[in-house]
Amino acid sequence: MVVRARRMGGVEQPPWLSPEQQERVAGEVATGRFRSAADIRGLVAETFRVTYTEGGACSFLARLHLAPKAPRPVHEQADLDAQDAWKKGCSQAS
pLDDT by position in tens, the chain (length 94): 455 555 566 666 788 899 999 999 999 888 888 888 888 899 999 999 999 988 888 888 888 888 776 667 888 899 999 888 888 887 665 5
Distant-in-sequence, close-in-space partners of 61: CB < 8 Å, separation ≥ 6: 29, 37, 40, 67, 68
CA distance 39 to 43: 6
CA distance 62 to 11: 18
Sequence ranges of the domains in the chain? 17-71
